[in-house]
Chains A and B, each alone.
Chain A
Amino acid sequence: MKFIRHFSFRRWRGLAGAGLAGLLLGAAACRREAEAPAPEHFPAPTPYALVQPPLFPAIPAPPADNPLTVEGVELGRHLFYEKALSLDNSTSCGSCHQQARAFTDGRARAQGVGGALHARSAMALQNLVWEPKLTWDGASPSLEQQARTPIENAVEMHQPLRAGVARLQQMAPYPPLFGKAFGTSTITEENALKALAQFERTLISSNSRYDRYRRGDRSLLSADEVRGLQLFSIHPNGTLRGGNCSDCHGGELQTDHNFRNNGLDAAFADLGLSSQTGRPTDNGKFRVPSLRNVALTAPYMHDGRLATLQDVLDHYNEHVAFNSPTIDPLLLNTTNDPLQQRHDLELTAQEKTQIIAFLRTLTDSTFILDPRFSAPR
């Protein structure tokens, strides 16, 4: 049935082209036959220019087949907050990725349709345009590819995207939104994923107090926060004291885009990176997340086991599982012990407090209030 309709439509198009001359000759009777869907004419979408934040690495170009457009991003925003993409109309991307929490959900482990519990914590969505690999285990090399996973995953939105797209086709706002973004009001899975990826690429956080400090306003951080920043950066050597956070959380994006075992466990309930690569040497390695807005993204770690920033500092300072088989060498060899003999980091309580004070300067209130990223009304 479907095939026949498709075939006849193609034939109609061919005939319409061939018969154009005949129509022009004034065969008025033919007009009635041309009542099949009129060809769509949407104006070309408007390019959307991301603003390069000062000091940040250059914004990578989007995929050649999915340039950012104003209309595509706007459609993506609608889809991001669209609950019809979930099995029971209960859940959207925005349910677990809430703007006020830097697009996390405040839960240890994400909760999907029907209260299903995900094995991992919802990651913050920010500065993704710079991320070469997405999710905790690097499963997806592109936002377009990644977007399908939470929509279809049984413990997340739990509905085939094919079914979601069929729903959207019947919802009044969507055919024209897709038409404006992609030139056709026939909704496809591919275009839905492209629009979601476009919206996600616009989620740039670059205006925290720390950013403004970095750009030159030295009055913006207190003495404790500045000391926290120093401790965050410094690799201790017995003379210089430091927390050595930035060996992994370095640069303006505060991630080296790597996957590392940070010593949470000696045995792994979740294999992390090796579930993608199959290599035992990748067991227990997870993505190094950016620490931007980290004060908003509790609880912490891939399974949300650490409730507060204090817990995180305590972990790195005194609870690292040094016998973890794939533990990162940087954790084995980072201590403030003047003799450089001990394993533990050996920060003082005050130093931990100062590092946490610095981490709080990474909160970007303009990002979490930006109406461009909020649910459409």
Chain B
Amino acid sequence: MNTSRFAAVAAALVLATALVTACKKDSDPSTPQTGVFALELEPGVGALPLNLSTDTYTTAAGDRFTVSAFKYFLSNIKLTKADGSAYAVPDSYFLVDQAKPDSQHLDLKDVPVGDYTGLTFTVGVDSARTKAGNFTGALAADPGMFWDWSQEFKNVVLEGTSPQSPSRGLVFHIAGFKGANGANNTIRTVSPAFPANTKLLIRPDHSPEIHLHVDVLGLFGGPNPVRFATVYNTMGGPQSVKVADNIAAGMFSVEHIHAN
């Protein structure tokens, strides 16, 4: 807190100096400047907007479905630069819930200024944080996202219906990280690429936004296409691992970046 206030004062002093002396020298490198950015999550089903319960969609394989709940954790946000260096946003854990529009807008603060060329984050909650317990904030916000009995998070939840499902129901609880040698690990880390020749410019006086398309079809397509006649009810375990691989392959893509 003090650091940022000091940084602000320092920034003001630097600016004042620049105005008075028309000096073009860079600011004092010992007082790193910071900025903010936002992740704007734009959920959809392919090209269609995601409307809970009301709309019926079709998978690439031709199965029809509705979605009554769609939630996931997004954590461990990291920005990378062209030179390979990276900035990990500390304690960045978010729960994105389709039923809560506010949760689709993530504000990240105190990011060192710089030209960033890449974004990496975890879909779910990392096992280290899970094992540490004492959950607060996003991690304590929704008891329905935690398995008390196994002490694991549901990383991604989709519930809905499909006429192809033998039960009519769809329950995809992509949860957990345990199993022998982590065989049931459904936590995935993704790095959706920025559009060509686009950078995220963090500056003290800018508030850029990364718009991420979040495609529900990403759960059901990719390396392990899902047919609801056989896969309609998965709560951790090998089938969830396959869905997690789909999620890693194609649920998130960077649509565009607003420099703002």
The finding on whether chains A and B are genuine partners in a shared complex, rather than unrelated, reads yes
Residues of chain A whose beta carbon lies under 8 Å from any beta carbon of chain B: 57-58, 230, 233-235, 237, 242, 246-248, 250-253, 256, 258, 279, 281-282, 322, 326-334, 340-341, 343
CA distance A247 to B145 in the complex (A): 8
Cβ of B144 < 8 Å from any Cβ of A?
yes
- Residues of the A chain whose Cβ atoms lie less than 8 Å from the Cβ of B33: none
Residues B159 and A330 in contact, CB atoms below 8 Å apart: yes
Residues B169 and A329 in contact, CB atoms below 8 Å apart: yes
Say whether, besides A281-B54, A332-B168, A258 and B173 are in contact (CB < 8 Å).
Answer: no
Which of B140, B159, B166 sits near A57, CB closer than 8 Å?
Answer: B140
Count of chain A to chain B residue pairs whose CB atoms are closer than 8 Å in the complex: 73
Which of B142, B160, B168 sits near A256, CB closer than 8 Å?
Answer: B142
- Residues of the B chain whose Cβ atoms lie less than 8 Å from the Cβ of A256: 142-144
CA distance A328 to B232 in the complex (A): 14
- Beta-carbon contacts under 8 Å, B133-181 to A: 136, 140-144, 146-149, 159-161, 165-171, 173
Residues B235 and A235 in contact, CB atoms below 8 Å apart: yes
Cβ of B68 < 8 Å from any Cβ of A?
yes
Cβ of B17 < 8 Å from any Cβ of A?
no
Residues B161 and A233 in contact, CB atoms below 8 Å apart: no
CA distance A235 to B157 in the complex (A): 14
Cβ of B31 < 8 Å from any Cβ of A?
no
Residues A332 and B167 in contact, CB atoms below 8 Å apart: yes
CA distance A281 to B68 in the complex (A): 9
Residues B144 and A250 in contact, CB atoms below 8 Å apart: yes
Which of B52, B136, B147, B160 sits near A329, CB closer than 8 Å?
Answer: B160
Residues B53 and A340 in contact, CB atoms below 8 Å apart: no
Residues B144 and A341 in contact, CB atoms below 8 Å apart: no
Which of A57, A58, A340 sits near B233, CB closer than 8 Å?
Answer: A340
Residues of chain B whose beta carbon lies under 8 Å from any beta carbon of chain A: 52-54, 68, 136, 140-144, 146-149, 159-161, 165-171, 173, 232-233, 235-237
Residues A250 and B237 in contact, CB atoms below 8 Å apart: no
Residues A279 and B143 in contact, CB atoms below 8 Å apart: no
Say whether, besides A329-B68, A333-B170, A250 and B235 are in contact (CB < 8 Å).
Answer: no
Which of A58, A253, A282, A330 sits near B171, CB closer than 8 Å?
Answer: A330
What is the distance, in angstroms, from B64's C-beta to the closest C-beta of chain A?
15
What is the distance, in angstroms, from A214's C-beta to the closest C-beta of chain B?
10
The list of the 8 closest CB pairs from A to B, nearest first, reads A251-B143, A332-B169, A250-B143, A329-B169, A281-B53, A333-B233, A233-B149, A333-B171
Looking at A250, A332, A343, the one whose CB has the most chain B CB atoms below 10 A away is A332
CA distance A212 to B131 in the complex (A): 23
Nearest to A247 among chain B residues (CB) is B144
- Residues of the B chain whose Cβ atoms lie less than 8 Å from the Cβ of A250: 143-144, 146, 148
Say whether, besides A233-B147, A256-B144, A329-B159, A279 and B167 are in contact (CB < 8 Å).
Answer: no
Nearest to A340 among chain B residues (CB) is B233
Residues A253 and B144 in contact, CB atoms below 8 Å apart: no
- Residues of the A chain whose Cβ atoms lie less than 8 Å from the Cβ of B173: 235
Residues B235 and A237 in contact, CB atoms below 8 Å apart: yes
- Residues of the B chain whose Cβ atoms lie less than 8 Å from the Cβ of A279: 53-54
